[in-house]
Amino acid sequence: MTLPPYAHTLSISLEEGAEGAPLYRMPFGDTVLGRPGFLHGGAISGLLELAAIGTALRAIDDDGAVVKPINMTVSFMRGGTDQDTFASATITRLGNRVINVEAHAWQDDRDRPIASAQVNLLVRRS
């Protein structure tokens, strides 16, 4: 999967996680800095959205499909600090036109997420 320009702006990279699931990594730097020493909430939200869309595209496995966000709700649980941030997503409903995804972002401990998102996506298949 080719990442969109927004991902390159935030220096997000795609890796292979456990069991072949996509894992997104965002390094800490000036482009994602909010208040001193912490991640900007918009950068965290962007990472979560990218993880949700990437996971959805991988699940439908249709090169001509177009996926667009309908709605996204982000819950921030703790501040992201000056270290790499990871995100992954899980499909909760894979319909013909709508895909529901849950995404989580964490830093040093996957069991202690810094944010989560519920994302509803519209899909147009080729």
CATH code (residue 82): 3.10.129.10
pLDDT over threshold 70, residue 1? no
Percent pLDDT > 70 in the chain is 99
Average pLDDT estimate for 5-25: 85
pLDDT at residue number 75: 97
Average pLDDT estimate for 80-84: 91
Q: Are 26 and 14 in contact (CB under 8 A)?
A: no
pLDDT tens digits for 20-74?
Answer: 778 999 999 888 888 888 999 899 999 999 999 999 999 998 888 899 999 999 9
Global pTM reads 0.92
pLDDT at residue number 105: 97
Measured distance CA(60)–CA(85) in Å, rounded: 26
C-alpha distances out from residue 125 to 33, 64, 120, Å: 37, 6, 16
Query: How many structural domains is the chain composed of?
Result: 1
Q: What is the mean pLDDT of the chain?
A: 91
Indicate the SS3 state at residue 60.
helix
Measured distance CA(120)–CA(126) in Å, rounded: 20
pLDDT at residue number 31: 84
Indicate the SS3 state at residue 45.
helix
**Which residue range(s) make up the domain with 103?**
5-124
Tokens of 116: 């989560």
Q: Which residues does 23 contact at the CB level (< 8 Å), separation at least 6?
A: 14, 15, 16, 17, 86, 87, 88
Long-range own/partner contacts, residues 92-97 (CB < 8 A, 24 or more apart): 94/59, 94/60, 96/123, 96/125, 97/122, 97/123, 97/124
